[in-house]
Structure 1
Amino acid sequence: MAEYEFDFELLQELTETSGVPGYEDRIRDIVRRELEAHTDKVQTDAMGNVVGTIEGTSDYSVAVAAHMDEIGFMVRHVTDEGFVQLDALGGWDARILKAQRVQIHTESGDVTGVIGSPPPHTLSEEQKEKDDEVKDLYVDIGLDAETAKETVNVGDLVTMEQTTVEMGDHITGKALDDRICLFSILEAAKRVEDPDVTVHFAATVQEEVGLRGATALGVDLNPDLAIALDVTVANDVPGFDAGDHVTELGAGTAIKLKDGSVITNPKVHRRLRDVAESEGVEYQYEVLPAGGTDTAGFQNTHGAKPVGAISIPTRYLHTVTESAHVTDVDATIDLLAAFLDTETGEHDYTL
């Protein structure tokens, strides 16, 4: 396996802990613990966004954001037979959900369940050809109907059960989107000392259901510059032409030029490039045809703000086997830390 410098155990804790949109409590506790050790002050707003601030020597401020929430589900019904039906929180491809293990987070504790998948040789041709939808799936929790209804309630949260492991030169698991970038922000915060500008390290909520946390936070913080971190598509796998890869694993951190929600400020992404080259950080450009990130939340609030974004190339997004290359993670942390260390507040990002 390729060598890396980051804290794998912290990344493992972040990715394996549950936290769906609007219910990021367990992740928030970890983020607060880490930020309190490395920033001057930590605050949480009414939505649940967490901000750790390192005070600079000028009035200029930079916000750096990554989201805490992972895609998941909410219980919408428990059938008379004791099976649990779901409503999606975020964008799922239902084809990959069958025969997966889940955790249902009830008020009295976590309950293990499996998303049912009948044996293929028992299905009719019509059943085999039917397109799967989340609303048609059911979770078997191994309890009789009466006990199931006493145990699980409408509104309980559901997440996929998965461990995060090293796989060759990659890290694979659930919720790398966006915990691996949240982790990168926490690691960068450890390196930033006595900055010229004030830096707000922001862990946002509800990104997977519409960039809601970042949109509100952009108003509250009103930074002079915002940099968002998120994973991005890496379709460098069989079945895709090179022009459709978007990014490639092992080719460095990705400097975003555009996605479906934002066109980053050219002066910001060029400075990210210049810092990467001066620091010897491997990078690639990202042109993402669809999808959005917290970058747009900051661009749409409290007037015109220069925004940029750094992405970690990730295969198999929105599955339980999301995979990233360890050297790309290191490169992302290195670039973010170097960018913040060299930000003086005197760069002109006006177009």
Structure 2
Amino acid sequence: MTEASDPGSDSDFDFDFDLLCELTEASGVPGYEDQVREVVRRELEAATDRVRTDAMGNVVGTVEGDSDYTVAVAAHMDEIGFMVKHVDDDGFLRLDALGGWDPRVLRAQRVRVHAADGDLTGVIGSVPPHTLSAEDREKDDSVERVFVDLGTTDPEAVADRVSVGDLVTMEQSTVRMGDAVTGKALDDRVCVLAMLETARRLDDPAVTVQFCATTQEEVGLRGATALGGDVDPDLAVALDVTVASDVPDVDDDRQVTRLGEGTAIKLKDSSVITNPKVHRRMRAVAEDEGIAHQFEVLPAGGTDTAGFQNSHGATPVGAISVPTRYLHTVTETANGDDVDATVDLLTAFLDTETGEHDYTL
């Protein structure tokens, strides 16, 4: 465990918190997942029989089983971020979003600009309320109005170092907070962690398991869709975070999941309806093993689950989700016991997969 934990917390996690920090604090916007990919490759090389990457940057670690029946387990590496689209005459940067941002959360955030000769610290600027006109106060926030201030009075120095196409990510550390962890990019690095932890624990499976760290999920499930055709599994299980809006002023029916009530077995989101036989077996495994769980019916949002379902013919799919508050912000928050439950359920599900279950409907 890290020494930088919340002094008010006495909760212990079974998962590797230091690895979670390394994964979440690495930068990796869609299509440029290089930093986090290096970490994933290192961990998979230690835990699987062989590792490969493809032209989209997906990483696949294979654990050979006793049969040719193949299960793909997928979690995406990319995080939402930005690409520089313009450097103005005063040295401010204008951005194009990579993934879905709520512009309300962007004001006054610190960012990293990944320039060719090294990272630069910047802040997303905001106009003080003291000088806002009545008209300005009524304007809705939008990503198009966001600008990055690099803190220099020398615009030429900015133009010399920053180019159109440079990447921008949020600056935030991952810390423990009570029974939870909070930071940037838990979507979906906390699930990458769960996948890696499971790869470490899986011992002599009856089936071959392909642990897939995918790319470009935040811009349309692109890596998983391509990988579904390449891997062509007999069964696919995706891991992602899901909405936990169990906070004040949100009605119960809109909360989706709640922190501390266990891992979430996905029934549907806007991109997929999971195979009923798969999610029923997940529930049975959770009940048999005494693993805390809940069910996820997500009204909006897609996951890599859909990328595998029909990219190379019909494939039975299931999904396990980590309930997470404040998604697509720099303070995404997940309960540590829910993360442990996710690892426990995935491990137990794979340990009991024989390749003989009939998932046809």
Normalised by the size of structure 2, how large is the TM-score?
0.97
Which residue in the other structure is 1:14 paired with? 23
117, 124, 128: which one aligns with 1:119: 128
**Paired position in structure 1 for 2:325:** 315
Unaligned runs of 5+ in 1: none
Q: Distance in 2 between matches of 1:140 and 1:245?
A: 36
Structure 1 distance, partners of 2:250, 2:310, is 33
Q: 1:254 matched to which residue of 2?
A: 264
Matched, 1:285 2:295: yes
- Cα deviation 1:258-295 (Å, max 9, x = unaligned): 00000000000000001111111000000000100000
1:239 to 234, 239, 249: 249
Return the alpha-carbon distance in structure 1 between the equivalents of residues 157 and 319 of structure 2.
48
Q: Cα deviations across residues 62-121 of structure 1 (Å, max 9, x unaligned)?
A: 000000000000000000000010000000011110100000001101000000012111
Structure 1 segments (4+ residues) deviating >3 Å: none
SS at match of 2:79: coil
Q: 1:35 aligns with which of 38, 44, 48?
A: 44
Secondary structure of residue in 2 paired with 1:329: helix
Distance (whole Å) between structure 1 residues aligned to residue 242 and residue 330 of structure 2: 16
The one-letter code matched in structure 1 to 2:300 is A
Structure 1 residue corresponding to 2:87, chosen from 73, 78, 86: 78
1:343 aligns with 353
Of residues 199, 220, 234, the one that matches 2:230 is 220
| Matched-pair identity in % | 72
How far apart are the structure 2 equivalents of 1:46 and 1:131?
40
Match of 1:139 in 2: 148
When the two structures are aligned, how many residues end up with a matched partner?
Answer: 351
Name the CA distance, whole Å, in 2 between partners of 1:302 and 1:10. 33
Q: Which amino acid aligns with 1:37?
A: A
Unaligned 5+ runs, structure 2: 1-8
TM-score by length of 1: 0.99
| Separation in 1, partners of 2:222, 2:193 | 20
Specify which of 32, 36, 53 is matched with residue 62 of structure 2: 53
Alignment counterpart, residue 160 of structure 1, candidates 170, 175, 179: 170
Aligned residue in 1 for 2:108:
99
Q: How far, CA to CA, are the matches of 2:311 and 2:15 in structure 1? A: 33
Alpha-carbon distance between aligned partners in 1 of 2:237 and 2:111, rounded to the nearest angstrom: 33
TM-fit CA distance, 1:129 = 1.0
Query: Is 1:171 aligned to 2:178, yes or no?
Result: no
Residue 197 (str. 1) matches residue 171 (str. 2): no
Whether 1:23 aligns to 2:32 is: yes
Provide the rounded CA distance (Å) in 1 between the counterparts of 2:144 and 2:345. Answer: 42
The aligned counterpart of 2:240 is 230
Say which SS state the counterpart of residue 47 (structure 2) adopts: coil
Q: Secondary structure at the match of 1:37?
A: helix
How far residue 134 of structure 1 moved from its aligned partner, in angstroms, is 1.1
Task: Name the CA distance, whole Å, in 1 between partners of 2:320 and 2:231.
Answer: 20
SS at match of 1:117: coil
**Offset at residue 142 of structure 1 (A):** 1.4
Q: The residue matched to 1:113 in structure 2 has which SS?
A: strand
3-state DSSP of counterpart to 2:51: strand
Secondary structure of 2:266 counterpart: strand
3-state SS of paired residue (2:29):
coil
Deviation at 1:250, TM superposition (A): 0.1
Q: Give the letter for the 1:64 counterpart.
A: V
Report the alpha carbon displacement of residue 139 of structure 1 after superposing the two structures with TM.
Answer: 0.4
Return the alpha-carbon distance in structure 1 between the equivalents of residues 167 and 13 of structure 2.
34
